[in-house]
Amino acid sequence: MTKSEYLDSPGWKRWVYRLARHPFIVFVLGPIFIFAVSQRFPISARSRKERNSVYLADLGIIVVVLAAGLTFGFRTYLMIQLPIILVGGMLGLWLFYVQHNFEGVYWAHHDEWDRMKAALEGSSFYRLPRVLQWFTGNIGYHHVHHIRPMIPNYNLEKCYASEPALREIKPLTVRKSLSSLGLSLWDEHNKKLVSFRSLKNPET
């Protein structure tokens, strides 16, 4: 929501929005809903091929769960699998979240939207420690990915290093990215993300 949209909304809608932006909802319940519920049903599928792909994935999951459960027990399987799914889902959602919700991000309405500016400033260059960069498949070079989505992940760093304009983008560090958790509203007047706290203190 923009700041003005939030202020113009009735109390119940503000409450729902605040709840939806709470870190526990986003990073704990969010992955469970996305991966275990919404992506298991082809509601937004645009073609028969997409629907069949979802059904095939669901069938594969059922086969794996049954095979593992019948082999060494469903309780044991769930005790191993559920923490992995939860932690993996939380980390995956965090990476997607922080690459479009950070201090200094670019945002514009459709009629004012600039593709190149959105790629370079609307998606972060998330500078991760080398080992995390490898494990995440160079996902930190998200601005490069948005300029040319067809570039394979193993070439993103090479592209970044070869183009001076890409290196001018200020990197977002892990420590700095933590502050994005409090940014929940778009202030159209000042062109920046702000926190709910800024509504009480306009200078923050």
Query: E strand or H helix at 172, and its extent?
Result: strand 172-173
Q: What is the pLDDT of residue 194?
A: 93
In Å, the largest CA–CA distance within the chain is 60
For residue 20, the surrounding DSSP H or E stretch is helix 11-20
pLDDT at residue number 183: 92
Annotated domain spans of the chain = 22-98, 104-183
Predicted pLDDT at 12: 95
Name, in order, each residue with C-beta under 8 angstroms of 81's C-beta and a sequence gap of 6 or more: 68
CA 127 to chain centre: 16
Is residue 154 a contact partner of residue 138, using CB atoms and an 8 Å limit? yes
pLDDT tens by residue, the chain, 204 residues: 999 999 999 999 999 999 999 999 999 998 888 888 888 888 777 888 888 998 999 999 999 999 999 999 999 999 998 898 889 999 999 999 999 999 989 988 888 888 888 888 899 999 999 999 999 999 999 999 999 999 999 999 999 999 888 888 899 999 899 989 999 999 999 999 999 988 886 554
At 170, give phi and psi (nearest 5°). Answer: -70, 125
Q: pLDDT at position 137, please?
A: 93
pLDDT of residue 40: 87
pLDDT at residue number 38: 85
CA 204 – CA 145 distance, rounded (Å): 32
